[in-house]
Amino acid sequence: MTGAHLAGSGAALPGDGVGQGEVWDGFFARHSGGGRALERVFRGAGVSRRHLVVDPLTEDVSAWSTGERMRRYAHESLPLGTEAVAAALADAGIAADEVGLFVVASCTGYATPGTDIRVAAALGMAADVRRLVVGHMGCYAAVPGLGTVTDYVEARGRPAVLLCLELTSLHVQPPTGDMGQVVSHALFGDAAAAVVVAPGAGRGPRVVDVAALTDPGTLDHMTWDVTDHGFRMGLSPQVPAVLAKHVAPMVTELLARHGLEVPDVDGWAVHPGGPRILDTVVEQLALPADALDASRRVLDTRGNCSSATVLLVLDELRAQGRPGPGRPAVVLAFGPGLTLYAALLEG
Residue 219 and residue 189 in one domain: no
Residue 325 and residue 213 in one domain: yes
CATH of the domain at 311: 3.40.47.10
Where is pLDDT greater, at 235 or 193? 193
Task: Please tell me whether residue 19 adopts helix, strand or coil conformation.
Answer: strand
CB 216 within 8 A of CB 336: no
10 Å CB burial of residue 289 (0-12, 13-18, 19+) is exposed
% residues pLDDT > 90 (the chain):
96
Last residue of a domain, one of 140, 171, 199: 199
How confident is the model over 234-285, as pLDDT tens digits?
988 899 999 999 999 999 999 999 999 999 999 999 999 999 999 999 999 9
Backbone angles phi, psi at 42, to 5 degrees: -65, -45
Return the pLDDT at 125. 98
Please choose, from the candidates 82, 71, 146, the residue with its C-alpha nearest in 3D space to the C-alpha of residue 115. 82
Active site residues: 139
What stretches of the chain show up as alpha helix (H) in DSSP? 20-23, 29-32, 36-43, 66-92, 115-123, 142-156, 179-187, 239-256, 275-285, 293-302, 309-319
Return the pLDDT at 236. 87
**Domain span at residue 218?**
206-346
Is pLDDT at 44 greater than 90 in this prediction?
yes
Residue 87 and residue 127 in one domain: yes
Is pLDDT at 22 greater than 50 in this prediction?
yes
Residue 119 and residue 27 in one domain: yes
Residue 40 and residue 91 in one domain: yes
Is pLDDT at 2 greater than 70 in this prediction?
no
Is pLDDT at 84 greater than 80 in this prediction?
yes
Supply the Cα-derived Rg of the chain in whole angstroms: 19
CA distances from 113 to 78, 107, 110, 121, 144 (A): 11, 16, 9, 11, 23
Return the pLDDT at 1. 45
Residue 26 and residue 171 in one domain: yes
pLDDT band at residue 201 using 50, 70 and 90 as cut-offs: confident
| Pairwise CA distance, residues 171 & 34, whole Å | 20
